[in-house]
Amino acid sequence: MTTRKRLHPDSEPLLTNEEEDEETFPPKKKQLSPGAADEASSSGSSNGVSSSPGRYSYSRELHVGPAPLSRELLPVANKRRRPLTIEEAKKGTKEPVRVYSDGIFDMFHNGHSRVLMQAKNAFPNTYLIVGVSSDAMTHKLKGKTVMSEDERYDAVRHCRYVDEVLAGAPWTLSLEFLEKNQIDFVAHDDLPYNTSDMADIYQPVKDAGKFYPTKRTEGISTSEIIARIVKDYNMYIQRNLERGYTAKELNVGFIKENEVRMKRKFRGFLALFGRDGRISEFFHDQKEKIKHVFMSPTTNHEDTGDEEQQRGLEGNS
């Protein structure tokens, strides 16, 4: 299947106020000529959008998909005469402010999405480019990832705040890289990230006044999620064995597999026969019911009936 090149969003003209009014939801119905209206009603659709009772009839097809990769886009023309200052960008600009945020984004979680939300909302008119590092670079400098690079690219592409994803992003940033990609600002948390030869890989960007600080979300990170899994290692092995995964798929040896299965059976035994097990609970409930029957005051209905019958006979005599 042939993939069409997509025009870069920056190359499209900005909407005027009148055009923005036309884009409001629900979209206005397109006025059709009588002949076209008859044709549309007979076919049951208009502009490729099915018509049905209770639904709006759109004037054009609407498509929602993931953010494009940088390599899928045509180069954008540099329309800015000089670099922006943060103060100018905060006031609002006609051209979108191109903001870059990078990371590994392994096991994409809400901490990642919150950072990207801050970057997207840094300025009134922001175009957010997210750089995601490759497997080769990440495994060499940081360690093994859970997700492959393609999975990480795809996860970021489906975040609603992202306009473009740069696959295989560089580990360190230079002003030449920013100029080449026409990046106005870099958004990242303010902590220093060092390498073997740099105390902070973002220091050149900070010195150039192109750094926009974001805040981390406490209590959530990829390392934290992995730590939770490792902490309950046996439970997750048991969980996946019960769901049909083999010991080989889980990289679990024969001894470990049987250890987990025996622990599960032992817990099941305790749940049934243990001190607080279901059988013990059953007998406890029955004991309370029997005790209640014997300890509650009762009336001997047979004796009461005999006494009433005797009084009746004496009265008749």
Look up tokens 């990440």; give the residue: 138
Quote the Cα angle for 254-259-263, to 5°.
Answer: 150
Residue 316 has pLDDT above 60, yes or no: no
CA atoms within 13 A on the CB side of 295: 6
For residues 237 and 208, the answer to whether their CB atoms sit within 8 Å is: no
Rounded-to-10 torsion of CA 174, 176, 179, 184: 20
The string of pLDDT tens digits covering residues 91-117 is 998 889 999 999 999 999 999 999 999
The string of pLDDT tens digits covering residues 114-158 is 999 999 999 999 999 999 999 999 999 999 999 999 999 999 999
> Among the listed ranges 57-61, 121-125, 187-191, which one has the minimum average pLDDT value?
57-61
Instruction: Specify the pLDDT at position 197.
Output: 86
Q: Which CATH superfamily is domain 70-223 in?
A: HUPs (3.40.50.620)
Query: Domain residues of the chain, as ranges?
Result: 70-223, 233-296
Q: Of 183, 167, 173, 184, nearest to 131 (Cα)?
A: 167
The string of pLDDT tens digits covering residues 17-43 is 444 344 433 444 344 344 444 444 444
The predicted model scores a pTM of 0.63
Rounded Cα distance, 227 and 145, in Å:
14
Q: Of 129, 128, 113, nearest to 167 (Cα)?
A: 129
